[in-house]
Amino acid sequence: MITAVLNLVRPFVLFSLLLISILLVSRVGLAVWQFEHIEDTQVLSALLLSGLRIDLSTLGYVLILPAILHPWLMLTQYQNHWLRILKVIFFAILIAVIFFELATPAFIIEYGFRPNRLFIEYLEYPNEVMKMLINGHSLTLVSVLITLIMAIFLIKPLLSGTVSLKKSEVSPTPIASLLSCALMLFILMFSARGTIAHRPINPSLVYFSTDPLVNSLALNSIYSVVHAYKQLSNEKNSAKLYGKMDEQKVISLIRGETGLALDSFIDTSQPSLTTRQPAYQGKPKNLVIILEESLGAQFVGSLGGLPLTPQLDKMNNEGWAFKRLFATGTRSVRGIEAVITGFTPTPARAVVKLDKSQRHFFTIANLLKKHGYTTQFIYGGESHFDNMKSFFLGNGFIDIVDFNDIINPQFIASWGVSDGDLFRQADIELTELHNQNKPFFSFIFSSSNHDPFEIPDGMVSPIEYSKEQLSLYDEKERMRHKAVKYADHALGQFIDTARTRSYWNDTVFLIVADHDARALGSDLVPIKNFHIPGVILNSSKTGFIDNRVVSQMDLAPTLLSQIGITNQSPMLGHDLSNTKAPGRAMMQYADNFAYMKADEVTILQPLKPALNFTYDFRQKTLVPKPLNLELSDTALAHALWGSLAYENTWYRFE
């Protein structure tokens, strides 16, 4: 009897050992590669132990169904057919696991953690992704494919020994099948659950470090991606991640942080709706927003970065420049969300992609359209990417100009036409809009500074690096630097041209980044990589450096104030025209949320207590400090607000 039971469970035991070994080797390899993040042997042992728990949970989920079927099918005449099927199942699981582990290093290099929701979102656009991989990551792609093929040849003989196609020496009996089924079911269910606590295992239960990369390594990549996919259905409720707060307290705290008079919030059906008076009182001006792709402060000389943006540096000296402006996230749609809607960041996808925000959601395009403006989006790629076209057309944009509308482009890259072509078309569009004798709002989104960094030849001079810099920046990073320099060159040409046009004097321009190129580091939220440039031209302030901590969310209210629009809006951002407006910023980094007020920072993590820090602007690091309960409550209120506002349609436009 015991022998029969062991024969039935043997394939699953051997397969489990094989899979656990593969994941262990991968995790150790990644830890060695990122050894600067592993502080000591205690961290390494905690990483391996946490990883084992996740790997066992993964095994439990992928094996439970075949484990239930196996003992009973082995009693039938289809025994050999089932064993062949089982071998295919094991093979598919191993190949999937190996593929995701092989894809992990490239993802870590780009985003600072294992594949997650971003991996899923990019799969929605195979055309753009394949072009990017072929043109910019061909070596990585070939390496992964070769390694995967080699793995296939190694796995096949191992599986032949794991799942024998020969008839068992001891034929199973119904009792043996029942016992083996019960045994495997118990072990796999316990492994999948991963704990005897009230809640089953999830990433937050194995996270133990303040370094997000170390926490990420505690997972395996297929678990990380599947968990992210599962979370998409629960993404509307931040309270499940950060904890609950009374709804009225949330409303009271977010209203208080706007700096607006509390008696100005008069609509109970939209708790943040208020009327704002503009700083500029003349004839309403046109508005142009230029969203620069992946342009972090680290590349902007006037913000203490590399000297790659002389044109933007010149604009910072001439206009209203924000020295401490912070992005709300690490994706373009998060930047669009902040700049166009003024919405708070959440752990969910940006509202650009969510179902209930595709119509009647507040945007400055909706508002300006109501005020008689012509509204337009100009993009050098395909505007369907990241659901931009659908969101824009449903929320106030009248006209979309994208790849197919660009006249005679001189250079076409993986993500669309070059920034030079984009801005030449933008000049044509703005001239036509101005000739219609109506106010206009144009939103221009660049793309040249995007991996794989394809730019026209001969447009920018070579960048000279010192020996020390050459050791710091690999070839890929030097390509990025060249793309940044080209994007700045194209922007400068456009602004110089615009200054000569009839639309210039009647138009307020904002140049701002969507996010930094990368967000990496050992901090729970790498605040230095949320630091971005932003400058307003033709505003009431010229040659002015604003040293306040400000957010992308503050830009929309400020722009409406600068172009002379009295408006009712649900935005929480500050009108920075008011010099007394308090400074603060919000940042979403994967599932971590940071609320920053001056140099004080509260960081919220899933299912963990709030942590408080002081941000050292000189060293660009977070220094732990005792809990600030008031700031922690304010942070939690803002982290919960987005989910509440979305779910209850408090951010609607009527």
Give the pLDDT means over successive 10-residue stretches in the chain (654 positions): 85 94 96 90 93 96 95 88 91 94 89 85 73 74 86 81 58 87 94 85 86 92 90 71 95 94 89 95 96 97 96 97 97 97 94 93 97 97 92 95 96 95 98 96 96 92 86 90 97 98 97 92 93 97 95 98 95 92 90 96 94 96 95 97 94 92
Assign domain 274-580 to its CATH superfamily. Answer: Alkaline Phosphatase, subunit A (3.40.720.10)
DSSP secondary structure letters along 184-238: HHHHHHHHHH--SSSSPP-HHHH---S-HHHHHHTS-HHHHHHHHHHHGGGTT-T
Q: With contact defined as beta carbons under 8 Å apart, do 623 and 616 qualify?
A: yes
The pLDDT, as a whole number, for residue 164 is 65
Taking the C-alpha atoms of residue 24 and residue 53, their distance in angstroms, rounded to an integer, is: 11
Taking the C-alpha atoms of residue 593 and residue 610, their distance in angstroms, rounded to an integer, is: 10
Q: Output the six-digit token pair for 347.
A: 């752990």
DSSP state letter for 268: T
Maximum C-alpha span of the chain: 93
* Per-residue model confidence as pLDDT tens digits over 32-52: 999 999 988 899 999 999 999
> In 10 A of CB 437, how many CB atoms?
6
Taking the C-alpha atoms of residue 47 and residue 514, their distance in angstroms, rounded to an integer, is: 34
Report the candidate in 508, 555, 556, 551 with the shortest Cα–Cα distance to residue 364: 556
The pLDDT, as a whole number, for residue 520 is 80
Q: Output the six-digit token pair for 546.
A: 């604003």
Pairing of strands 440-445, 286-292: parallel
Q: Output the six-digit token pair for 513.
A: 């980044």
As annotated, the residues of the chain forming the CATH 3.40.720.10 domain(s) are 274-580
Whole-model pTM: value is: 0.87
Contacts of 413 (CB under 8 A, 6+ apart): 135, 447, 448, 452, 454, 455
Task: Give the Å distances, CA to CA, from 501 to 422, 434, 498, 505, 553.
Answer: 17, 10, 5, 8, 30
CA distance between the termini of the chain: 73
Q: With contact defined as beta carbons under 8 Å apart, do 350 and 331 qualify?
A: yes
* Per-residue model confidence as pLDDT tens digits over 345-395: 999 989 999 989 999 999 999 999 999 999 999 999 999 988 999 999 999
Asked if the bond preceding 452 is cis, omega within 30° of 0, the reply is yes
The pLDDT, as a whole number, for residue 126 is 74
